[in-house]
Amino acid sequence: MQLTITAMTYGPDGLARKEDGKAVFVSGGITGDVVEARIVEEGASFARAICDEVLEPSPSRTESACPYAGVCGGCPWAAMRRDAQLAAKEDNLRSTLSRIGRFTPEEVDELVKPIRHAKDAWGYRNKVELAPVHRNGKFFLGMHGRNPDDVIRVDACPLFDKKFPKALKGVAGALGYLGNSRDLELERVGIRASRRTKALEVALWTPTGGFPRGQVSRVLADSLNPTSVVRVMSKGDRRARKIAGVESLLGEGSWTERIGREEIRLSAPSFFQVNTAAAEILIELVLEALQPQEHEVAIDLYCGAGTFTLPLARRCEYVAAVEAYGPAVRDLRRNLEIAHLDNVDVIGGDAVREFPDEDADVLVVDPPRAGLAAEAIDLIASTSARDVAYVSCDPATLARDLRRFADEGTFVPVSATPVDLFPQTYHCETVVHLTRSASHRA
């Protein structure tokens, strides 16, 4: 059937409607396209379709810089111009705050600020991951396709840091050569690169047990001269595998990045934003919202390896930082030592169970995609904090949590600023500034 794409969803698909008003999620279409589409799933309230032909291309359509964009899952919005991507991400946030957060159009207009972004639309990622495949008796490494069960063999990724154009091919070639002569039992391979520190790390995720350390180190060293090669050993059920240990096979054994005025070191299992330049905008917005003072106490929940902890510690008298993931806790302690900061209490554990006793002045929370538990919102409301910065990677859980904050009444949202950390995709971060309501001020 012929359909007109009217908007982008928070996902890879465009949104169209049948004549009866039923929503159709169209794979391969972008806002403004008129397409010939084939229905592949018909539900009670919506349908899914695949674009077979673009009959009238959208003014926002552009030629992708990635030759694999149609089959690889890494850049689903690559056919859209950058300005259209930014507008769609801002619209997604507005729509979600309205639908899920139940904020009025006037409240949404007041809350949502213009989207922020760094300069690079391509070549911005400091990390990519490769998946191992055995196919027709051959071993190779590739990237997950639009269908996650597919793995696509690629020579380069235009999203990966443009200062390391040959890194992906070098890793895939070296390990592909070795993997065709013996079973490396690779589960995945991570590559991290920093144009600022020139650090290049290869992380090999494997089960515990024997591993050809010397051979792997030699072929990777000959292929791309990395600053670090590590093996991350895991065990347990595939759906819930746990880190059993990390061993250094070559070089420094960790990856170093510079963000803002801080230079931090990260072990391979630790999370770090994949777009360093745009992550600096997150820090700027958090500090702008909190305006931390040298006599004040800060709480940093879900603090990771220190992205917000370190700048807060340089501005506050004391910081209580809570993180449940063991490798990130160890990295944070090391980064505080490197920065010569001794005014941070690093608390390992769940943010709810280990919620700090300190009477905080300001608080930052950067939860995983699931957002905040209801108990966390109650605990935040119980503090004496004057301002809260909420950093979110998912607009749906953010909208839910902001409604919970609004209904609880202690904190009210002042602004919500989307930040495009992931050009060519639908993903977007948001920094929300909440301040204590007038009725709950001391």
Residue type, 104: T
Residue (of 168, 173, 175) closest to 200 by Cα position: 168
How many helical (H) and strand (E) elements, i.e. helices and strands, does the chain have? 9, 23
| Average pLDDT per block of 10 residues along the chain, 442 residues long | 95 94 95 96 94 96 91 92 97 97 97 98 97 91 88 93 94 93 92 97 95 94 95 84 92 96 96 97 98 97 97 97 96 97 97 92 97 96 96 98 96 98 97 91 68
Q: What is the pLDDT of residue 55?
A: 97
Pairing of strands 188-193, 151-152: unpaired
pLDDT for the residue 213:
94
Closest among 401, 405, 412 to 436, alpha carbons compared: 412
Helix (H, G, I), strand (E, B) or coil at 41: strand
Show Cβ contacts of residue 192 under 8 Å, excluding neighbours closer than 6 positions: 126, 127, 199, 200, 201, 203, 255, 266, 268
The reported pLDDT for the residue numbered 226 is: 97
Rounded to a whole number of angstroms, the CA Rg of the chain reads 23
> 427: which strand partners?
none
Q: So what's the pLDDT on residue 216?
A: 95
pLDDT value of residue 147: 82
Q: What is the pLDDT of residue 71?
A: 87
Tokens standing for 405?
């904050």
Q: Which residues, including other chains, have CB under 8 Å from residue 366's CB and lie 6 or more apart?
A: 300, 301, 302, 303, 304, 307, 308, 391
pLDDT at 151: 93
Burial of residue 44 (CB within 10 Å: 0-12, 13-18, 19+) is exposed
**Which residues, 6+ apart, have CB-to-CB distance to 423 below 8 Å?**
82, 85, 117, 120, 121, 122, 124
Task: For residue 224, give Cα distances in angstroms to 104, 163, 175, 228.
Answer: 54, 13, 12, 11
**Pairing of the two strands 318-323 and 297-301:** parallel
CA 141 from chain centre, in angstroms, equals 22
Cα–Cα distance, 300 to 97 (Å, whole number): 25
**Rounded to whole angstroms, how far apart are CA atoms 4 and 46?**
15
- At 183 the pLDDT is 87
Give which of 260, 400, 269 is closest to 327, Cα–Cα: 269
Q: What pLDDT does residue 439 have? A: 76
How does DSSP assign 117-155, residue by residue? E-S-SSS-BSEEEEEEEEETTEEEEEEEBSSTT-EE--S
pLDDT at res. 442: 62
What integer pLDDT is reported at residue 242 of this predicted model? 87
Q: Cα–Cα distance between 215 and 247 in angstroms, integer? A: 15
Enter the pTM of the model: 0.95
